[in-house]
Chains A and B, each alone.
Chain A
Amino acid sequence: MGDPFGIIGRWLIDLVTGLGMEPGAALTLLRFLGAAILATVLLLACFFLIVAERKLLGRFQDRYGPNRVGPWGVFQTVADFVKLIGKEIVIPDGIDKPVYWLAPLLVVMSVVGIWAVVPFAPGFRGTDLNVGVLYIVSIGAIGTLGIIMAGWSSNNKFALLGAFRAVAQLVSYEIPMVLTLLIPTMLAGSMGVTAIVEAQKDLWFIAAAPLAAAVFLISSVAENGRAPFDLMEGESEIVAGFNIEYGGLAFGMFYVGEFLHAFTVGVLFSTLFLGGWRGPGAEAYPLLGLVYFFAKALAVWFLTIWVRGSFPRVRIDQLLALNWKFLTPLALVIVALTAVVDKMAAEQGWSQLLSLLAANAVLALVMFAVLGAYGRSVRRREEKLRGNAAALQAGSAR
């Protein structure tokens, strides 16, 4: 019970070396098996994730959601999968074939790749890169590449416009995400994800940097292209989006990527800010750590779906203004403030948690004051415009 993952790993290595394999080759084989199992489990988990998300969205909107295929509709995605396999493949004229077929695969690969550095439990993880955080950002960006490849190769002007829109959004929201990723890096003193989880032994980073956590969550949801930031797709504006010319499972792969990314957002948030597998007794019983890890990830995932089911979508000018005029300056201020306050607290001997919390509280107050002033100025301008319109109307009536 002490270290089940280590025991299984050692047992497998013993088994393979017992069959006459070199220890080095056995370790490589083990890595290969781990990678294959991880990728397969992730893609199979989509069957569950998609139906769970649709059920939840249904409940948020006061309807049942899928409930016909199997008990509580759990086999709905399987039925969808079978249907998508049997769809006729329509390959439009004039597409750029290699790029067209590679795009959905890259979208899935980028999401699966992120999981390589996620620590599931003590001693149970894919791998521990010393540049883990940068790896997450760079692999995540390949998804953006897949989307512009899909739009570009489809030979459809609406797919192209959709791809431009998607890339403008994804690229913009990467800035606050990368900037807030500096906070866990700074507090842990390492870019390795395992080290970041280790550093949250006494203090989850969400307690020390609540604003950074909020900015990270918002920009991650936007990176995922979910409502309220679902501007990549607009049925009434750009026919569908970057994926118009796709059908069958190639189309399905974009959705596999999106739904899996939604859960990955929960996983990353809980790893970087909620302590990952940390919890009472997780050190002694790694299996308990696994339970904590998935409980936290599912809680954050539930929150993002709640947001998706509750908020109306924004316009593209609002979307970009929110990012460049609010989140990015805020993230810059958060990084500077956290760095200075944390260092001053260490030198003056203040409590790290209390001083960081106080700094965050002051920043939040200033933020709300500025937002309030901005809102009032917008309302005043609108009232003035409305007054002018009313005066004009009165004048024309006379």
Chain B
Amino acid sequence: MHDPWVFVAFLLPIGLLLPAVAVLMGILLGPRKPNAIKGTTYECGIETVGDTWVQFRASYYIFALIFVVFDVEAVFLFPWAVAYNRMELYMVLEGVLFLLILAAGLLYAWRKGALEWV
């Protein structure tokens, strides 16, 4: 019964519920007078042109890809950091080797121009 995750299991739904109550209160108490003009897309008073699903730059996608690579690799480094105190120097150096591979990946992306925002 002493599971530390019990608290998290309570806190997250409560953290979701309290703002939900506030928003619901706003919905119940606020007036509702919808009409066709109010419901349209808001663009500072200018009528919207074309579809919502516009094309966007591929750079976003590339940055997201680099992020995924780095985030997954950083998560792999956490067990290494936890065990750090029990390690010999050569084991630490192996971790550094892993970091160097990461850095080489960053350098590759950099040289390929993936980090440029043009």
Contacts and interface: CB of A to CB of B under 8 A. Distances in A.
A40 B19 CA distance: 10
Contacts of B1: 24, 27-28
Given A39-B14, A91-B39, A155-B41, A161 B56 contact: yes
A118 to B, nearest CB: 11
Contacts of B51: 157
Interface string B1-19: 1101111101110111011
Interface string A73-117: 000000000001111111111100000010011101101110110
A175 interface: yes
Interface string B87-105: 1010011011001101100
B77 A168 contact: no
Interface in A135-186: 135, 155-158, 160-161, 164, 167-168, 171-172, 174-175, 178-179, 182, 185-186
Given A90-B39, A157-B54, A245-B42, 9 more contacts: A84-B26, A86-B31, A87-B30, A88-B33, A92-B42, A94-B41, A109-B19, A127-B8, A171-B64
B9 to A, nearest CB: 9
B7 A34 contact: yes
Contacts of A134: 75, 78
Contacts, number: 234
A91 B77 CA distance: 45
Contacts of A106: 16
Interface stretch (A61-69, A263-271, A293-301, A337-345): A337-345
A332 interface: yes
Contacts of A109: 12, 15-16, 19
A256 interface: yes
A38 B13 CA distance: 13
Contacts of B53: 157, 160
A316 interface: yes
B115 A324 contact: yes
A58 interface: no
Main secondary structure of the interface of B (DSSP, over half): helix
Given A88-B31, A160-B52, A253 B96 contact: no
Nearest to A347: B89
A12 interface: no
Interface in A276-315: none
A88 B67 CA distance: 40
Interface of B: 1-2, 4-8, 10-12, 14-16, 18-20, 22-23, 25-27, 29-34, 38-44, 48, 50-54, 56, 59-60, 63-64, 66-67, 70-71, 74-75, 77-78, 81-87, 89, 92-93, 95-96, 99-100, 102-103, 106, 110, 115-118
A239 B19 contact: no
A171 B106 contact: no
27 contacts: A24-B1, A31-B10, A35-B14, A38-B11, A89-B30, A104-B23, A106-B16, A108-B15, A109-B12, A109-B15, A112-B11, A113-B15, A157-B52, A172-B63, A172-B67, A189-B85, A190-B82, A191-B78, A245-B42, A248-B30, A317-B116, A320-B117, A329-B106, A332-B99, A339-B95, A339-B96, A340-B89
B40 A158 contact: no
A227 interface: no
A228 interface: no
Nearest to A24: B1
Given A105-B20, A164-B56, A189 B82 contact: yes
A335 B74 CA distance: 11
